[in-house]
């Protein structure tokens, strides 16, 4: 474009001698030509003037050489200048948001001195997750290379935020809209704030319930009271024992906030056994099932974690032993409920571990059908109930004392586990057949698909990555609803009878007449007797 203009300019003076007024006209014509605007609304005149003013202001050393460049630069600048009114929508907000969340993991937020960190490092309960990731990879599981680092950093944050004595990556539960990363922790004694608070709200609820019961009695014309009495509630196990031995934290992804799961109650475990449900990935989501499950998804998650732990946490034989002191005390009770690490554990060769299931033992207590690890007698009633039931108890003989439920004791070998239909509950194998010297023993649960235990000679790791659903050989069918309550007492006064036929009526009439006749005869006899007596 500007070449043309240059040539135009050069040509113009050479158009020949002309009278001065004619020359002025020619200049005016030329200027008019240059001022013609093209489609973009820009004229050559403007372009040239902008170009020249730039050259004059910048004064480049080789103006002629860079003329073409400057001209095209100017034009590019003009093209990019305006923003379109219709912009392309911004995408990937989610990706950036997540990257921002993950960024917080990598920035070292703790501004403490280095010395204190050194002390913490020695005592820190933080597990070596990269080591775990390596171990489980040998077993054919995969945590993801980057993901393992992220989870590890997330666990570090958890350890930094709470006074923990023990912390372990429990595993991962997949859900339909999100997944849960689960950390199993134990607080240092006496430093758990929420454990003591836990009992508070429940008691309040009970009080409220009592109040509600009292109110209707004041009103007249009461509707009939329900005679239904819920079965006695089984108390949940104390924090630090049984199914509530550990506290669990979950988060939906590395970097998100850790959410503490509420302690599990026996009722929840019993309900969780009856349903089969996938998790959604939102701890506050309602669990709509039949039979009903009391609580949100966080409660269900906690119940499933307790069940999975009880079923699949296993260790090589004699890695754990019963603690001696407690053992003596509790001999009367029968079951010992704690075990500790055996300092004299010498390790079992991996080939032996892979050969026989009797070299593996459960080190988490079995959950009884009652929903607790330690059985409690629920037939001891509270005072109120006793008063109410006094009348009933007079009528029927007192119930027999319920037989205590007994599960397999702690440290029972896996070889005694029940089979699932025809399939064995465990599959054990070596991680490598080519280099058996350095192979690991891999134990896979068939009852809880996704539960693995990997053991080398001296140490072992247990992890669960799965859907949180128990395997059942047959299809699940929800239990039938309970029989409906009887609306009225069934008896001859209420139930409808068939009308008697004529023959029956006649027969009855005849019978009655006979009876009357017999009575008369009797009376007659009696009279006679009386007469005789007289």
Partner 1 sequence: MEAENLQLSLDAVSGSGHGLSPEQSAALRTSLLLLRRDMQLARVWLWGKILGVRGDYYIAQGVAGGEQLRARKAFYSLNCMDWCLLPPATNDLIAQAHVVTGRFIGDPSHEYEHVTQKKVDEGDAAYSEEVTTNIKEESRLVATIAMIDKEAAVVPRGAFVKNPVGEVQINHCFRGLAVNEAKKFSSYFHFTPTLNPTNKSLLEQADLNPALDFLNSLEHDVPKGSWSLQFEQGGSVLILRSLLWLGMTFYHLPLTPQHGYIYIGNGERNIDLPFMI
Interface ranges with partner 1 (CB under 8 A): 91-92, 94-95, 97-99, 102, 137-147, 172, 174-179, 275-278, 289, 421-424, 427, 431-435, 444, 446, 449-450, 465-467, 469, 471-476, 478
Q: How far is the CB of 414 from partner 1 (least distance, A)?
A: 14
Q: Pick from 239, 248, 240: which is nearest to 155 by CA?
A: 248
**∠ CA(286), CA(373), CA(296), 5° rounding?**
5
Q: How far is the CB of 367 from partner 1 (least distance, A)?
A: 22
Q: How far is the CB of 207 from partner 1 (least distance, A)?
A: 37
Q: How far is the CB of 440 from partner 1 (least distance, A)?
A: 9
Q: How far is the CB of 289 from partner 1 (least distance, A)?
A: 8
Which tokens belong to 95?
């990706």
Adjacent-strand bridge partners of 279? 175
Contacts of 156 (CB under 8 A, 6+ apart): 126
Q: How far is the CB of 146 from partner 1 (least distance, A)?
A: 7
What does the alpha-carbon distance between residue 453 and residue 460 come to, in Å, rounded to a whole number?
Answer: 7
Q: How far is the CB of 125 from partner 1 (least distance, A)?
A: 24
What is the secondary structure of 429-465 as a DSSP string? EES-SS-GGG--EEEEESSSTTEEEEE-SS-EEEEEE
Which residue's CB is nearer to partner 1, number 10 or number 437?
A: 437
Asked whether 410 and 339 are in contact (CB, 8 A), the reply is yes
Asked whether 194 and 260 are in contact (CB, 8 A), the reply is yes
Q: How far is the CB of 212 from partner 1 (least distance, A)?
A: 34
Which tokens belong to 22?
């004619």
Which tokens belong to 67?
């003329």
Q: Are strands 451-455 and 460-466 parallel, antiparallel or unpaired?
A: antiparallel
Contacts of 130 (CB under 8 A, 6+ apart): 148, 149, 152
Which residue's CB is nearer to partner 1, number 187 or number 460?
A: 460
Angle between helices 2-11 and 44-58 (to 10 degrees): 90
Q: How far is the CB of 288 from partner 1 (least distance, A)?
A: 11
HEC secondary structure over 366-428: CCCCCCCCCCCCCCCCCHHHHHHHHHHHHHCCCCCCCCCCCCCCCCCEHHHCCCECCECCEEE
Which residue's CB is nearer to partner 1, number 138 or number 356?
A: 138
Which residue's CB is nearer to partner 1, number 53 or number 427?
A: 427
Which residue's CB is nearer to partner 1, number 45 or number 467?
A: 467
Which residue's CB is nearer to partner 1, number 374 or number 428?
A: 428
Which residue's CB is nearer to partner 1, number 250 or number 469?
A: 469
What does the alpha-carbon distance between residue 61 and residue 59 come to, in Å, rounded to a whole number?
Answer: 6
Q: How far is the CB of 126 from partner 1 (least distance, A)?
A: 22
Which residue's CB is nearer to partner 1, number 240 or number 424?
A: 424
What does the alpha-carbon distance between residue 244 and residue 237 come to, in Å, rounded to a whole number?
Answer: 6
Asked whether 373 and 237 are in contact (CB, 8 A), the reply is yes
Which residue's CB is nearer to partner 1, number 124 or number 137?
A: 137
Which residue's CB is nearer to partner 1, number 247 or number 254?
A: 254
Distance of CA 439 to CAs 285, 434, 454, Å? 43, 9, 10
Q: How far is the CB of 373 from partner 1 (least distance, A)?
A: 27
Q: Positive or negative, the Cα torsion across 177, 178, 179, 180?
A: negative
Which residue's CB is nearer to partner 1, number 133 or number 264?
A: 133
């Amino acid at each position: 474009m500007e070449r043309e203009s240059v040539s135009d300019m050069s040509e113009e003076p050479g158009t020949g001698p002309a009278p001065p007024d004619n020359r002025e006209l020619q200049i005016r014509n030329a200027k008019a030509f240059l001022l013609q605007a093209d489609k973009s609304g820009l004229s050559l005149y403007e372009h040239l003037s902008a170009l020249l003013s730039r050259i004059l202001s910048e004064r480049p050393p080789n103006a002629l050489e860079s003329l073409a460049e400057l001209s095209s630069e100017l034009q590019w600048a003009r093209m990019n200048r305006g923003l379109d009114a219709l912009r392309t929508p911004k995408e990937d907000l989610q990706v950036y948001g997540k990257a921002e969340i993950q960024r917080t993991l990598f920035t070292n937020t703790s501004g403490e001195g280095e010395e204190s960190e050194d002390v913490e490092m020695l005592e820190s309960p933080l597990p070596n997750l990269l080591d775990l990731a390596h171990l489980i990879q040998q077993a054919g599981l995969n945590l993801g290379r980057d993901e393992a680092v992220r989870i590890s950093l997330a666990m570090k944050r958890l350890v930094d935020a709470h006074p923990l004595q023990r912390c372990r990556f429990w595993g991962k539960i997949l859900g339909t809209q999100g997944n849960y990363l689960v950390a199993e922790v134990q607080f240092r004694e006496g430093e758990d704030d929420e454990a003591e608070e836990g009992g508070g709200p429940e008691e309040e609820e009970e009080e409220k319930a009592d109040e509600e019961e009292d109110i209707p009695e004041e009103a007249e014309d009461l509707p009939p009271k329900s005679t239904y009495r819920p079965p006695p509630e089984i108390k949940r196990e104390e924090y630090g024992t049984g199914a509530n031995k550990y506290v669990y934290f979950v988060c939906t992804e590395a970097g998100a906030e850790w959410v503490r799961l509420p302690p599990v109650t026996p009722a929840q475990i019993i309900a969780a056994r009856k349903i089969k449900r996938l998790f959604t990935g939102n701890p506050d989501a309602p669990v709509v099932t039949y039979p009903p499950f009391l609580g949100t998804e966080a409660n269900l998650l906690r119940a499933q974690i307790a069940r999975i732990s009880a079923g699949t946490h296993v260790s090589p034989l004699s890695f754990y032993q019963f603690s001696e002191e407690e053992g003596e005390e509790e001999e009367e009770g029968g079951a010992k409920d704690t075990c500790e690490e055996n300092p004299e554990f010498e390790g079992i060769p991996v080939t032996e571990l892979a050969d026989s299931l009797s070299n593996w033992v459960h080190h988490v207590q079995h959950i009884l059908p009652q929903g607790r690890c330690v059985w409690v007698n629920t037939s001891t009633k509270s005072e109120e109930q006793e008063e109410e039931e006094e009348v009933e108890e007079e009528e029927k003989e007192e119930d027999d004392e319920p037989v205590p439920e007994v599960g397999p004791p702690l440290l029972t070998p896996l070889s005694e586990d029940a089979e699932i239909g025809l399939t064995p509950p465990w599959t054990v194998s070596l991680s490598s057949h080519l280099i058996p010297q350095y192979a690991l023993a891999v134990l896979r649960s068939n009852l809880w698909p996704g539960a693995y235990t990997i053991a080398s000679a001296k140490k072992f790791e247990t992890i669960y990555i799965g859907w949180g659903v128990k395997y059942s050989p047959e299809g699940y069918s929800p239990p039938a609803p309970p029989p409906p309550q009887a609306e009225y007492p069934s008896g001859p006064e209420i139930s409808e009878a068939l009308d008697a036929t004529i023959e029956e009526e006649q027969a009855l009439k005849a019978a009655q007449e006979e009876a009357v006749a017999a009575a008369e005869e009797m009376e007659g006899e009696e009279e006679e007797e009386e007469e005789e007596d007289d």
